[in-house]
Structure 1
Amino acid sequence: MNKKANLFSRLPKVDDIISFIEQEMNLLDEVPREVVVESIREEIDNLRIKIANGSLDTDGLNSKVEDLPILVSKRARKKVSYRLKRVINASGVVIHTNLGRSLIDNEVMENISEVVSNYSNLEFDLDTGKRGSRYSHLIDIITRVTGAEDALVVNNNAAAVMLVLSSLAKDKEVIVSRGELVEIGGSFRVPDVMEQSGAKLVDVGTTNKTHLWDYERALSEDTSAFLKVHTSNYRILGFTSEVKLDELVELGKKHSIPVVEDLGSGVLIDLSKYGLEYEPTVQDSMKAGVDIITFSGDKLLGGPQAGVIIGKKKLIDIMKKHPLNRAFRIDKFTIAALEATLRFYLDEDEAIRKIPTLRMITMPLEELERRGNELLNLLKGKLDDSFSVGLEDQYSQVGGGSMPLEQIPTKTITISSQEGKITKLENSLREYDIPVIARIYKDKMYLDLRTIKEEEFKTLVGAFEYAAERV
């Protein structure tokens, strides 16, 4: 018998491994038997591949067979674990698109739980005892906070823009500045959204300069709207000019053309009062006389994913009757979350204190330094002497396509080591039960205190203890 054949003959049988697991481990109490058997077969197949390519000798095979029950357990548990899971965001990007964007406050979650785990008046009018509208639960709070005549909510802001344009401008012309034809993420572009709505794009001006007369020259009998897009995810600096909102509104009134503004991120508080750059608020656009405004619910507003449409009631009534409204409608989870989040905005101080996104981006440096020193002490001794751990000044980002030039001073735990070890540490932190997502730059790891919740410190320490055994 040759060497490979001898190694193949030493591979354990599936029945032997499952028998050992039944007697020595509680895995079958947590994972279905068929998943465990499937995992055993896959691990044995991995050993066959290694034998076939010559990467295992007798001692190596014996060691791998010894570890087989543990490897099977890890594989089987991974198979039945949730794919969408909680992570710790240590990246310093507050509205992190890849990590779920804005966080929802615990008080909001209590409202969601109460509504969705019981029957609700989703489409039932408690006053009349007859069928009601699901949007009625949001109209009062949205109009009160924004000052709008009416409101409608769909599943995201791209859907909001599409519904608005399809309702008001299908087969007609919409005039927009060339400098505002942005890509909004995931390769979705404003011209593409407009095309799908059935509206005909008429772009005016140049990338860096657009004047009021550009809009006026482009007017025709087919013009149905002026569209202004807030370029929240980029800035053009230098030799630039754009038409002010109030000027475009006046032009719209002069020619009886509605002005539609896509604000992108729904800012309801002037954040410049908290040391951040000024970002146009929804209320500012409303006061300027814009006819229809759309914005996201899950960016700077700090709520669930949603697209909010506010403005003139006569125009929104048209959208409510449009077939796309049914396709884009929101469910009870979103309604419960958005209503509870918007209620915080009745008191600005409460909104800053309770909405996680706002709380994080306005958190003072002194508080971050206090937290940084606390976490630094907790992490001491968790890594060996080949790692250097300290506390440094850095910058956080708002993220989510909002405030692209804003850098917020922050405090970070920094970890450096010899070549290659930081990569292994980062990989191990991502493998932990609650993965840790850190920032790596030039072989240095940064853990930003602005996006790490204080109650996550204990979990973070556990993640480093886990990772320390694997680097």
Structure 2
Amino acid sequence: MTDKNSLMRQLPKVDEMMRSIALEGMDDVPAVLIKLACQKEIESERQRILSGGPYQFSQDDLIKRIKAEVEKQNQPHLRKVINATGIVLHTNLGRARLPQMVSETMEEISSSYSNLEYQLETGERGSRYEHVEQLLTFLTGSEAALVVNNNAAAVYLVLSTLAQGKEVIVSRGELVEIGGAFRVPEIMKASGCTLVEVGTTNKTHKRDYEEHITEHTGALLKVHTSNYKIIGFTEEVSLDQMKAVGEKHGLPLIYDLGSGLMVDLKAYGIGDEPTVRSCLEQGADLVCFSGDKLLGGPQAGIIVGSAEYIKQMKKNHLLRALRIDKLTLTALEYTLRQYLSPETAAERIPTLKMITEPLENLKEKADRFYRMLTEQPGVQYEVVETVGQIGGGTMPGVDLSSYGVGVTMEHVSADGLESMMRKNRVPIIARIWKDKVLLDVRTMSDQDLSEAAEFLNMAGRG
């Protein structure tokens, strides 16, 4: 114990280390971060002594670790990363990438005052929803539109407004769970509705809805199974069939579409996802969908459809709790504006561009990335064919053929290299494939290629 006490006395005081660190060129770092880093690393030294193992104090090593900790703590926690996974709408990485002009406009709006709820023509108070409602009605063919902070909130608001205290009929095969363990039944319960399940997991018929309608029924709800598929012996009731049932009994038909596709991807030979406009044309009274999935915009929950029903929602006090802010509105408006020119939308919206990128372009991109990498002993790079996904809980079972660069280094394992990439100044998120670290170029910008090449060339030198 005496030896441990003696070793403890060698440890510097926190204020001494803070002065030493200040002399290391970190005088512009907030003092509280330096103090926290000093406390953490000195405590780490204490624990090493108390563990009873071999110990030798080195002030130079301690300063080095404190500086590394200070630099780590001085970085923003939410940071840019390079998505080299090939998953276009990667939920963990922020889903849709916004068009460049959107980010530039957001910068202007965020640092200025704006006409968020002010009518420039009359000088009177306006509504924040006016900035996108006309665009949404024009692009989808709907009578009215409303935007809240995400799609779960959109469904919640719709049900709370139109069916609180009433029964809502849903096919058992559509009772989905979305990310974060949020489930349709729980959202319905929270909104004050009573769930009535009809049909079976794999088959639901028109008569199932009709047989369960009573004087307590408030709405029919259809949920797009966008994050899974049931195949084989299956049957579901189409929107136009459900519309006929709803009209017969005077019930609104609500469609939780989720994905929010505005451009028909079938024209590119990709999947069979319905567009928002087609869902309205088939009879849905209200369609709810996300802004940050196939729409390619910011996180938002968008409701389009009947003017009568949306007018009721605008009077619901929940709307204030669920409303979106000026930056989301800015990003959404400028994303929607790209759809006014359908012939260029797939080129100008990053999500659509990545999904529809021709395979030959991706091969050329992978070859260009390969040429940026420096040949070094013990390091191997190769252009490989790979498969990506759209992701974000959309279009399950649809694979996107792609190209990437596989990396192996003799001095570090694939797991080790993947970890190093995640801890880079600009983290690079890739995947391991056949004992290689694979970087899929579909989801990488030209700047991403340059930054990833810089890291790999440095890491290759050991």
TM-score range for the pair, normalised by the shorter chain length = over 0.9
* Residue 439 of structure 1 pairs with residue 437 of structure 2: no
1:259-338 equivalent positions in 2, closer than 5 A: 259-338=253-332
Residue of structure 2 equivalent to 1:41: 39
Letter of the 2:373 counterpart:
L
1:31-180 equivalent positions in 2, closer than 5 A: 31-58=29-56, 61-62=57-58, 65-180=59-174
Task: Report the secondary structure of 1:27's partner residue.
Answer: coil
Residue of structure 2 equivalent to 1:429: 421
* Residue 202 of structure 1 pairs with residue 196 of structure 2: yes
Letter of the 1:36 counterpart:
I
Residue of structure 2 equivalent to 1:448: 440
Structure 1, 69-78 or 7-16: larger mean CA deviation = 7-16
Residue of structure 2 equivalent to 1:401: 393
Normalized against structure 2, the TM-score is what? 0.95
Cα distance in 2 for partners of 1:159, 1:312 equals 18
Residue of structure 1 equivalent to 2:21: 21
* Residue 249 of structure 1 pairs with residue 255 of structure 2: no
Structure 1, 388-397 or 151-160: larger mean CA deviation = 388-397
CA shift, 1:265, in A, is 0.6
CA shift, 1:213, in A, is 0.6
**Cα pair 1:419 1:443 within 8 Å, conserved:** no
Structure 1, 136-145 or 44-53: larger mean CA deviation = 44-53
What are the superposed Cα offsets for residues 429-453 of structure 1, whole Å, 9 maximum, x if unpaired? Answer: 1111110111124533211100111
Equivalent of 1:212 in 206, 212, 221: 206
Task: Report the secondary structure of 2:179's partner residue.
Answer: coil
Residue of structure 1 equivalent to 2:380: 388
**Cα pair 1:428 1:466 within 8 Å, conserved:** no
CA shift, 1:419, in A, is 10
Cα distance in 2 for partners of 1:204, 1:107 equals 46
Residue of structure 1 equivalent to 2:228: 234
Letter of the 1:11 counterpart:
L
CA shift, 1:460, in A, is 1.0
What are the superposed Cα offsets for residues 390-412 of structure 1, whole Å, 9 maximum, x if unpaired? Answer: 11111010000001100000001
Cα distance in 1 for partners of 2:199, 2:344 equals 42
1:19–1:260 distance in 2 versus 1, CA, 3 Å: closer
Cα distance in 1 for partners of 2:271, 2:325 equals 34
Unaligned stretches of 5+ residues in structure 2? none
Cα distance in 2 for partners of 1:225, 1:450 equals 42
1:3–1:462 distance in 2 versus 1, CA, 3 Å: farther
Letter of the 1:73 counterpart:
K
Query: How many positions carry a matched residue from both structures?
Result: 462
Letter of the 2:44 counterpart:
N
CA shift, 1:140, in A, is 0.7
Percent identity at matched positions? Answer: 47
Cα distance in 2 for partners of 1:4, 1:34 equals 29
CA shift, 1:418, in A, is 6.2
Task: Report the secondary structure of 1:152's partner residue.
Answer: strand
CA shift, 1:415, in A, is 2.1
CA shift, 1:165, in A, is 0.6
Normalized against structure 1, the TM-score is what? 0.94
What are the superposed Cα offsets for residues 342-374 of structure 1, whole Å, 9 maximum, x if unpaired? Answer: 011111222111111001111111111111112
Letter of the 2:25 counterpart:
N
Unaligned stretches of 5+ residues in structure 1? none
Cα distance in 1 for partners of 2:241, 2:274 equals 16
Task: Report the secondary structure of 1:125's partner residue.
Answer: coil
**Cα pair 1:436 1:463 within 8 Å, conserved:** no
Residue of structure 1 equivalent to 2:352: 358
**Cα pair 2:88 2:389 within 8 Å, conserved:** yes
CA shift, 1:12, in A, is 4.1
**Cα pair 2:430 2:439 within 8 Å, conserved:** yes
Cα distance in 2 for partners of 1:92, 1:162 equals 32
**Cα pair 2:409 2:460 within 8 Å, conserved:** no
Task: Report the secondary structure of 2:85's partner residue.
Answer: coil
Residue of structure 2 equivalent to 1:461: 453
1:287–1:107 distance in 2 versus 1, CA, 3 Å: same
User: Over the residues paired in the alignment, what is the CA RMSD in angstroms?
Assistant: 1.9
Cα distance in 2 for partners of 1:54, 1:224 equals 70
Cα distance in 2 for partners of 1:87, 1:71 equals 24
CA shift, 1:420, in A, is 6.8
- Structure 1 residue ranges, 4+ long, deviating more than 3 angstroms after superposition: 1-23, 54-58, 416-420, 465-470
Task: Report the secondary structure of 2:273's partner residue.
Answer: coil
